[in-house]
Amino acid sequence: MTILVLNAGSSSLKYQLFRFENGAHAVLAKGVVERIGLNGSFVGHKGKDGAEVRIDGAIANHTDALKKVFAALTDKDYGVISGVSDISAFGHRILHGAEDFNASVLMTEENLQKCRKNIDLGPLHMPPNLACVDACRELARDTPNAAVFDTAFHSTMDKTAFMYAIPYEYYTDYKIRKYGFHGTSHRYVSGEAIKYMEKIGKNPSRIITCHLGNGSSIAAVKDGKVIDTSMGLTPLEGLMMGTRSGDLDPAVIEFIAVKTGKNLAETINILNKKSGVLGVSGVSSDFRDLSAAAEEGNERAELALGMFAYRVKKYIGSYFAALNGADAIVFTGGIGENSVKMRERILKGLCGLGVKFCAERNLSAKRGEISEINAADSEIKILVIPTDEELVIARETFELTAGK
C-alpha cells in the first residue's frame, strides 16, 4: 500500500508518502507547502533519489496546495509515483476529536460532520485540517481518508484528571474539559521506550514523556495508557512554550484586557502568539536564538530559558506523584531531541527522585537515535527518542484501510 500522510496548518501543508510492503515501510517522498493563500507560496519537495526541489508559484488554498503536492509526486524528473491513483489512502492529522473519537477512524460523511461540530474546540487548526480532507475527497474521490486525532491517545484519562473545577454543566453542555495534544508523538515515543527497555531486560510500566519544541507538552503514561497530560481544552494550557503562555491565573486575562484596552479575542491571541519565551525574552521564540543571546549576557533570554526548564521540572515531579514513581523519562521534539543544555537544565536537581543524570552521555547522544543519558547506576532511565508522528499516522491509516 502507498499512503500519503497530510498535516495541514493554516498556511502550510506537510506531507510524507509511505509504502508498506511485506511488513516493512519506506518513505518515498516528503515535503511541505508553505505560505498557502499568501504571497511567496512554494513547495519544498524531496523525492526520487533524495532530490530536493523548490517549486514557486501562487497557491490560493488547500485544494490548490494538494494539486501542487500531486504534481510534485508524479513529476517525471523528481516524482515517485505515476499518478494519483497509485495512492492507496490518505492519512490526516486532525487536531481535536473531542469526546466523539477515542481512536482513529475512516472519514465517512458522518464522521466528517462530527469533526465540523468540534471546530470551535480548535478554531485555529481544525479548519485547515478539514479543508485538506475536503480537498482529498474532491480530487481523489475513490481514495479513502483516515483521521488520526491529536487527542485520541489521551482519551484514557480518568475524570479526576481531565475535569476542570467549574460548574459541572459546562462539561455536560459544552464539553469543557482537558483533552491534551501531541498524542501521536507521546504514543510513539512511549511505545518505543517500552520496546527499548524490554530489550535490556526491564519491564517498564510508568513513563513520563516530554515532547519539547515550539509547542511543548508532557504526559504520564502507565501500562501504555495516558493518566494525565499537560495541555488542556486547547494547546494553551500547560508548559510555557515558544509563543504560548502556558499555565497562569485565569484572572490575568481580564487584567490584561482592562489595562491594555484589548478585547477578549485580542488578549487570547497575545497569550497564544506573543507570550511564552518570546514574550519573556523579547528576543525570539526559537530556543537556539535564546541560547545564543543568553551566552552573550542577555538576562531576559536567560530568564526565559530558566523559566522553561523550571516548569518542565515541576511537571515531571508532579507526574512522579501521579504515577507513584517512574521507570523512565523520555525527551523528544525539536528541543528534547537536540538541546543538550536544556536537557541538562531540566534534569539537574531531580536526584531526590532517583534520577541520576550523566553529562557525558547527554553530550554524546547521537541525533536520530535512541540514547540513554542517565548514569549507569540511575534507578530511572532517561531516554532521548526521536519522534515520528507521520509514521504513527501512516500505520493507523494502513490498519484502517488495508484490504479495503
- Please give the Cα distance from 315 to 218 (Å, whole number): 7
Torsion of CA 114, 115, 121, 125, to 10 degrees: -170
DSSP character string of 107-163:
--HHHHHHHHHTGGGSTTTHHHHHHHHHHHHHHSTTS-EEEEETTGGGGG--HHHH-
**Which one of 75, 86, 150, 158 is the catalytic residue?**
150
Q: Which helix (H) or strand (E) holds 400?
A: helix 389-401
User: 70 by DSSP, 3-state: which?
Assistant: helix
DSSP character string of 332-371:
EHHHHHH-HHHHHHHHTT-GGGT--B-HHHHHHPPTTS-E
Residue with cell 502568539: 273
DSSP character string of 170-235:
HHHHH--S---S-HHHHHHHHHHHHHHHHHTT----EEEEEE-SSS-EEEEEETTEEEEES--SST
Helices (H), 32-92: 62-74
- What are the grid coordinates assigned to 137, written together? 475527497
Q: Which 8-state DSSP code applies to residue 77?
A: T
Q: Which helix (H) or strand (E) holds 393?
A: helix 389-401
User: 372 by DSSP, 3-state: which?
Assistant: strand
- What are the grid coordinates assigned to 62, written together? 488547500
User: 79 in the Ramachandran plot: left (φ > 0), alpha (ψ -120 to 50) or beta?
Assistant: beta
Which amino acid is present at 268? I
- Please give the Cα distance from 229 to 248 (Å, whole number): 16
Catalytic residue list contains 286: no
* Active centre residues (catalytic): 150
